[in-house]
Homo-oligomer: A and B are copies of this chain.
Amino acid sequence: MALRTAQEYRNSLRDGRAVFFRGQRVADVTEHPLIGIAVEHAALEYTMPQDPRWRSLAVVEQDGEIYNRCYKIPLDSADLLKRSELIAATTREGATYPVLIKEIGTEALFALRMIGSLLAAAGKPYYRERVDRYYRYCRDHDLALAVAQTDVKGDRSLSPGAQEHPDYYVRIVAERDGGIVVRGAKVHTSLVTNANELIVLPTRLMKSGEEAYAVSFALPVNTPGLKLIASPHGSEPKDPIEHPISARRKMMETLTVFDDVFIPEDRIFLKGEVEFAGPLAITFVRFHRFTAVSYKLPLMELLAGAGYAIAEANGIIAAGHVRDKLTHLAAYHSIALGLLQRAAAACTVEDGVAVPNTLLVNVAKYHFAHNYHQAVQLVQDLAGGLLVTAPAAEDLSSEATGEYTRKYLGGRKGIDAQARLRLMYLIADMTASDYGGYQEVLAVHAEGGFEAEKIQTFREYEFAPVAAYARRLAGI
C-alpha cells in the first residue's frame, strides 16, 4: 500500500488528537468549520495522485513500489525539477494557498538522513537507521506530515539557557526506559492539526551546555501530551464569491505544546549532540526554501495574471505606466522562476541526495520575499479602489440593486460588471483581506525571515575569488 485516498486521509485524522480552537477542544477536525476547510485543502495531495491528469507527476513507480513523489529522494536535477513542478502544480490547484502536507515533512526527512550519515560517521549509526525506517514507514503509509521547528524563544536576544524559564526552547526533561520526555512549545507549526505525524527539529545551533535542547524526534499527532492550539487568523466565515480563494482554502497554524511528551527511542533522531543541531536546522532549510520558491510561483503567476486581466477589463492596458507595472510583475516572476530552475540545475549531490544550489535558492527566496509587498501594491494599483468599495456579490443579482450594479460597474467593451467584479473580488481576496495579510506575513517570515536569507547568502557567496580579483587589479 502506498497511495491513500482522500477519504482514508480524512478518516485517519479522527484519532483523538488534542486540538484546541479559541480555547475549546475540537472533537473532530474534519467537521470543524475552519479546520475542516484545511483538511479538504490538504486532501488535494491525496486526490491529485489519483487523477489521471496529475498521476505521472505526482506518483513515482520504482522497483515495483508506488508512492507519492514528495517522498522521492532527489538524486539529480531532474528529480528536483519534478519535485518543484509538483509543488507548484499542487499550489496552483490549491488556488495559491500552500498545501505542503507532504513537502515540509519530506524535506525534514532528507535533512535527517543527511545528518544521520554524519552522525554515523561520528560513531552513532543508529540515528540514520531510525531515520531510514521512519522514512519507509511514512512513505509506505502515504502519511501526512508536519514539522515543528521554531521555538517560542522568549527574549529573542537570549540563548535557551539564559531565559526567564528553561522551557522557552523544547528540551529533554527526563530520560526513561526506551525513550525521553520532552517539554516546551513550538510556534508557527503549519499543518499539524491535520497531519498524521509531526517531526520536530531544533531551531538553531546549540552550544556545549545546551545538550537538552539539541533534540530531534517524531511522533504521531495523537500522542498523549501533545497539544495543538490553533490560530484563529482568517477564521471569519467568508462569502465564496467575494473570497474565491480563502473561503475554500486554508492552512492551519498552531502553537504546538509538548506537555511532557514521551518519545520512544526509535523516533529520536538527535539527542544531545549539540554540534549537529545547527547543521540539521540549516540542512532542512536548504530544502525548505527550495520548496518555498516552488510554492510561491503560482502566487507570482496570479499577481501578473490578475494584474493583466484587470488592466484589460478596466480598459487601461495600452497606457505606458500600466505596461511598466505589468513588466515589473513579469520580471518579478521570471527572476524567481529562472533562479529556481538554475538552482536545481546547479545542485550538488551530497550523501546521495541532490541538494539545490543554496546560494541561488536563498537569493531567489529573498527576491520573492523582499519584493512581495511592492508587487501587491502594483496589482492594487492596476485594479483600482473598487477592491475595497465594490458592492457585494448579492448586489449583482438583487432585485433592489442588481440593475444598478450590472449597469454601472461594467468595464471595457465585452467585460460585464460580473466579470469585472469577480476579478476585483479575487484581487481583494488575494491582497486586501486577512488572506492577503497572511501571504504578506508568510513572505516576510515563512521559511526564515529576511535576515536569515541574507546571512545564508553572505555565507554561500564566494567572496575569496572576487576579492582576489580585486587585489590583483589593484596591484597588491
Please give, as numbers and ranges, the residues of chain B lying within 8 Å of A442 by CB-CB distance: 388
Judge whether B441 and A95 touch: CB under 8 Å: no
Give A196-255 interface residues, CB cut-off 8 Å to B. 227, 229-234, 236-239, 241-242, 244-245, 253-255
B-binding segment of A2-10, A38-46, A303-311, A347-355: A303-311
Please give, as numbers and ranges, the residues of chain B lying within 8 Å of A173 by CB-CB distance: none
What string of 1s and 0s marks CB contacts (under 8 Å) between A24-54 and chain B? 1100000000000000000000000000000
Cα(A408)–Cα(B405), bound, Å: 50
Judge whether A255 and B466 touch: CB under 8 Å: no
- The contact of A319 among B96, B157, B335, B391, by CB within 8 Å, is B157
Cα(A188)–Cα(B333), bound, Å: 31
How many A residues touch B, CB cutoff 8 Å?
157
Asked if A407 is at the interface of the complex by the 8 Å CB criterion, the answer is: yes
Cα(A318)–Cα(B319), bound, Å: 14
What string of 1s and 0s marks CB contacts (under 8 Å) between A176-190 and chain B? 000000001101110
New A-B pairs, 4, CB < 8 Å, besides A308-B467, A338-B364: A152-B408, A335-B363, A339-B339, A423-B471
Judge whether B302 and A473 touch: CB under 8 Å: yes
What string of 1s and 0s marks CB contacts (under 8 Å) between A146-167 and chain B? 0000101011111000001101
- How many copies are assembled? 4
Write the nearest CB–CB distance from A316 to chain B, whole angstroms: 5
Please give, as numbers and ranges, the residues of chain B lying within 8 Å of A438 by CB-CB distance: 388, 432
Asked if A129 is at the interface of the complex by the 8 Å CB criterion, the answer is: no
Judge whether B390 and A327 touch: CB under 8 Å: no
Asked if A12 is at the interface of the complex by the 8 Å CB criterion, the answer is: no
Cα(A314)–Cα(B451), bound, Å: 16
Also in contact, A244 and B434, with CB within 8 A (given A301-B466, A440-B376): no
What string of 1s and 0s marks CB contacts (under 8 Å) between A359-388 and chain B? 110011011000011101100110011111
Judge whether B323 and A388 touch: CB under 8 Å: no
Please give, as numbers and ranges, the residues of chain B lying within 8 Å of A314 by CB-CB distance: 155-156
Judge whether A331 and B24 touch: CB under 8 Å: no
Also in contact, A338 and B360, with CB within 8 A (given A95-B473, A187-B389, A330-B461): yes
Asked if A312 is at the interface of the complex by the 8 Å CB criterion, the answer is: yes
Judge whether B187 and A385 touch: CB under 8 Å: yes
Judge whether A157 and B473 touch: CB under 8 Å: no
Judge whether B326 and A324 touch: CB under 8 Å: no
Cα(A330)–Cα(B467), bound, Å: 12
Asked if A458 is at the interface of the complex by the 8 Å CB criterion, the answer is: yes
Interface centre among A330, A395, A402, A441 (most CB of B within 10 A): A441
Cα(A95)–Cα(B469), bound, Å: 9
Please give, as numbers and ranges, the residues of chain B lying within 8 Å of A315 by CB-CB distance: 154-158
Also in contact, A312 and B255, with CB within 8 A (given A330-B457, A389-B187): no
- The contact of A423 among B405, B458, B470, by CB within 8 Å, is B470
Judge whether B437 and A428 touch: CB under 8 Å: yes
Cα(A6)–Cα(B404), bound, Å: 33
